[in-house]
Amino acid sequence: MSNDIRIEGGIVSGNVAIGDGAKAISVQFANGGVSTGSENLLLDGLRKYNVSDGDLQDLLYAIKQDEGSPALSRKELGPNVRSWMQIMFGKAVNSIWQVELGMAGSILASAMQHYYGWG
């Protein structure tokens, strides 16, 4: 299997497998110009990776709590979104979220970068 990344119009997509015998996972999020600030695109993108509705609601709450955070002006995640991501990494480690840990970081980082328009 080859690892490939494609850019078509405003969509970045691709298949990536990390590690010997790893299963390929497709990563796809619209670029920052298309999805910046779109909660629906953010949630739809994360649902593709089996993020639960409860976790998605927690993310939306964290985003709202971080509005106006000085970290955002430095293109850094606010403290509440960072905390949410740590919880999600824990779920990946403990197999509660059915995503490999290495891919969890890529999925979440890509989603948040595009949501905030940093990607």
pLDDT for residue 37: 81
Give the largest Cα separation in the chain, rounded: 44
- Residue 36 pLDDT more than 60? yes
CA 12 vs. chain centroid, Å, equals 13
Mean pLDDT of all residues in the chain?
79
pLDDT at 27: 52
**Higher per-residue confidence, 119 vs 46:** 46
Residue 114 CA to residue 119 CA, distance in Å, equals: 5
pLDDT by residue (tens digit) across 43-58? Answer: 999 999 999 999 999 9
